[in-house]
A and B are shown apart, each in its own frame.
Chain A
Amino acid sequence: MTAAIPAPTPRWPRGLFSLALLLLAWELAARALAGAYVLAAPSDVILHIAQNAGLLGRALRETLANAAAGFVAGNLAAICLAAGALTWPRAAPVIAGLALLVFCLPLVATGPILRVLYGPGAGPQVTLAALAVYYTTFVPLMVGLRAAPASWFDLVRSYGRGRVAELVHVRTRASLPYLFAGLQIAAPAAFLGAMVGEFTGAERGMGVLTIRAMRTLDVTAIWSLAVIAAAVSILAYAAVGRLATALLTDRPPVILSPPVTPAHTGWRPLADAVVVLLVAVAAWWGAMEAFGLNAFFAKRPDDLWQALYMAPDAAQTRATLTAALRETSIYLLPGYAAGLALGASLAVALTLAPALRPGATALAVTLRSVPIVTTAPLLVLLLGRGAVGTIALVATMVFFPTFVACIHGLRQAPGQVLDVFDSYAAGPVARLWHVKVPAMLPAFFAAARMSVPASVLAVTVVEWLATGRGIGSLMALSASLSDYDMLWSAVVVISLLSVLGHAAVGLAERRVLSVFAAEQVAV
């Protein structure tokens, strides 16, 4: 059998029992930490939600509507981008590069621009929710659109049909498991994006209430909001999961692809990079001019050139940036690695111990849907503001896409191969190691690529919240002092950092996948 659909009946009583146990542990922990004002007990949370049902209900309706709109817009954008990249493969690296760069834009830079563009209303929240999801759908989708046996493409070609027919008849079907992985990652991310989007001056919603509760030390309100955000995200995650199991009834095929030697000429990736860079600069410049954004806060490339190389204090500006970059890079690699390892190992562990899956998944979704401002004080209290606490915070913010992608990847183990293992009565570990983990590799590398910009952004948020150093802190400081030259320079630096990291992961990916999943490399 496949790992996809375990019979649901025996799981419920056990699920309820673990839920009760979890609530009890939470209640006891909250009582023990009462003096620290970091965690509210579930009993208080339930009471608070009951007493403020009207207020919370209105806030939830607002945020949920924005999140839903952002979810739809972001995922549609991802689907269009991926379809475009596959029908016109020459443009694929450029599309992927631009998608990455847009995902790198931090809220501290985009917030004021979106608010000025949209004025009052829900525009910025919806846009930020869409920005929070499109990339994590785009990347797995690109993997999925390639995850088809070569013989299927041969069939299409034997009928004399081209790339569009390939896309419609073969790739779309093959991509569905990966699309659903993307949609599941997107569900909590859209909600969080809409909530954080409210930090840009929205009138109402769950994010507004969260800021308020943080200021007034209302721990019960903070955790009530967190519980609602988590509950909504878990429901959305489960609904997408249900849809996936209902639609994906076929067993994953054996993908036999002719091995490829990574034989691209040395010049092509470089040329692609130059094109991406030129298009990005042109789009950045053009968009700011087209919308008539004031150069005081919407810095153009030439403003940055001035500030970094021409201005009298240019050397000092560069020195400040370099120093901040150095501080950031200390935590970046450990945080990235920790998030990736946590996500992948949790996914693998849960295939060996499926009983734990509902609880662990719920916890994972929770960590992804609750703003880090809520959970950070608890983590800081437990782990401190040093290296351990910082890396743990980053890992918390980035592990979820890896976890979901790997769960779906593990399910791509071909049915016939598992049948062979069954007939030899191979144990679960052997099946995992020889079949499921290799099948997971494309999804894992997709996750590894998505996690690069995610972890860069996460480090900057943690720096702003907990350590007060590095690029994140520099961006917050620059925004408060209207030093938008410095802010946009920092945005460029973290974008370049993400691009470099992405390229490094891409190199490793080509090496590994040319052995294990050649169809991903041969475009």
Chain B
Amino acid sequence: MTYRTLSRRTLLATGTAGIAAAAMPPLRARAQTPVGLQLSWLHSVQFAGSYIAQDRGWWREAGLDVSLAQGGPNAPVEPPVVSGTALVGISAADYTAAAIEQGAPFRILAVAMQKNPFVVASLPANPVNEPADLMGKKIGMALANMPVLQALCTLNGVDIDQIEVVPTQYSAQPLVAGEVDCLLCWETDLPVAMAIQGIESLTMLMADHGYAVHSQTYIATDDSLANRRAELVALLSGEVRGWEAYRADTDAAAALTLAMFPDAGLDIEIQKLQATRQVPLMFSDLTDANGFGWWTDETVAANIETLALLGRTVTPDLWDRSILEEVHGS
């Protein structure tokens, strides 16, 4: 089983979780503390690390009864986390920064996607390989993402007025139909859909061109961070173990996702491809050295710079590594 391939660090984390569970009153541990994890989108392999933790009972062992609430087009992450319906939510640094400006008391506890998954996808006949190629092209995107495009242009000295923006639904259809030349989307969804449909596409990862925004971040409120630390540690250590197991066998993670959500209409080929394509976004030399979810002062500084271009002013204390440090035992 993949369990044997786990790193020393993760095993340590298990130990920590075990201690955390042991530290709780036995009755309560047996009763299982109910905890909500609010996902940012519909169930898919995007959250397979959580499914593995759930499936193998790692949270149950730690005394947590975790319910995974899926997101959706009209299911934002922030309200359930603020209300306490969910202990932890999956967000992204830019959304979290915006919510904080509106008075939400959030901290980022861990970073699942080290590299932001935003790409510009295009077709080989009319490729966008670097930001300068955007000039003179029609890009399909939600107008809500204008700040993202603006930031990319600023970072790379591209005149945004040279780009024609077409407001589109979040779908590869306008690109395939030739209505636009390229799309602003995620590396792991629309390009995967096109590949499965037999349409070859190119992606330019914005993170490779200076766009540094932590994505799929774990957020919790200040209050939870102060008063529910044991649960947070147990939840995140399950996540860490889950994602390590995910990395060891992404095909198995895809299969588990389908098995757990038979009514979600998932396609195994799409899930497998998506699972492999998100690995380079989630794991890096940094996580190899320090463990899943890690960040450093340097990556935070880069995030603060990009967030400033998005019109968000944040300070380094938006990120709180104390839970993750406890999980990784450092």
Contacts and interface: CB of A to CB of B under 8 A. Distances in A.
Interface string A397-412: 0000000000000000
B202 to A, nearest CB: 16
Interface in A6-63: 35-38, 55, 58-59, 62
A480 B95 contact: yes
B12 interface: no
Nearest to A213: B265
Contact of B143 (A116, A293, A473): A473
A116 B144 contact: no
B92 to A, nearest CB: 11
A55 B264 CA distance: 8
Interface residues of A, number: 60
Most chain A CB within 10 A, of B83, B172, B178, B261, is at: B83
A107 B79 CA distance: 15
Interface in A182-217: 198-204, 208-209, 211-217
A296 B78 contact: yes
Contacts of A214: 169-171
A204 B70 CA distance: 10
Most chain A CB within 10 A, of B73, B83, B169, is at: B73
A200 B98 contact: no
A297 B177 contact: no
A297 B75 CA distance: 12
B69 interface: yes
B196 A216 contact: yes
Contacts of A293: 83
Interface stretch (B47-55, B99-107, B153-161, B300-308): B99-107
Contact of B267 (A211, A216, A377, A467): A216
A13 to B, nearest CB: 38
B78 A482 contact: yes
Interface stretch (B23-31, B187-195, B203-211): B187-195
Contacts, number: 166
Contacts of A202: 70, 72
B144 A477 contact: yes
B78 A476 contact: no
A162 interface: no
Contacts of B75: 111-112, 115, 199-201
A51 to B, nearest CB: 12
Given A199-B72, A377-B171, A217 B176 contact: yes
Contacts of B163: none
Interface of A: 35-38, 55, 58-59, 62, 107-108, 111-113, 115-116, 119-120, 198-204, 208-209, 211-218, 221, 293-294, 296-297, 373, 376-377, 380-381, 385, 465-469, 473, 476-477, 479-485
B263 A203 contact: yes
A63 B68 CA distance: 21
A294 B103 CA distance: 11
Nearest to A482: B99
Closest 9 CB pairs of A and B: A468-B167, A201-B75, A111-B74, A468-B143, A482-B99, A36-B177, A204-B263, A481-B98, A297-B79
Nearest to B192: A216
Contact of B170 (A35, A111, A215): A215
B252 interface: no
9 contacts: A35-B177, A59-B265, A112-B76, A119-B85, A201-B75, A203-B43, A216-B270, A466-B167, A483-B98
B102 A296 contact: yes
B42 interface: yes
Given A199-B75, A216-B196, A217-B194, A38 B177 contact: yes
B131 interface: no
A116 B262 CA distance: 25
Nearest to B98: A481
B299 interface: no
Dominant secondary structure of chain A at its interface with chain B = helix
Nearest to A107: B74
Contact of B190 (A59, A215, A221, A484): A215
B177 A381 contact: yes
B266 A201 contact: no
A208 B78 contact: no
Nearest to A219: B173
A373 B169 contact: yes
Interface residues of B, number: 55
Contacts of B172: 37, 217
Nearest to A483: B102
B71 interface: yes
B142 interface: yes
B125 to A, nearest CB: 14
Contacts of B173: 36-38, 217, 377
A210 to B, nearest CB: 9
B110 to A, nearest CB: 20
B74 A108 contact: yes
Most chain B CB within 10 A, of A115, A199, A202, is at: A115
A294 B71 CA distance: 19
A177 B98 CA distance: 52
A211 B169 CA distance: 11
Contact of A385 (B99, B167, B176): B167
B176 A208 contact: no
B95 to A, nearest CB: 7
Contacts of A209: 265
Nearest to A373: B169
Contacts of A469: 143, 167
B142 A211 contact: no
A470 to B, nearest CB: 11
A373 B99 CA distance: 28
Interface in B163-186: 166-174, 176-179
Contact of A212 (B42, B99, B190, B196): B42
B80 interface: yes
Contact of A116 (B80, B95, B99, B265): B80
B5 interface: no
Given A212-B42, A377-B171, A480-B144, A296 B74 contact: no
B302 to A, nearest CB: 22
Interface string B120-162: 0000000000000000000000111000000000000000000
B296 interface: no
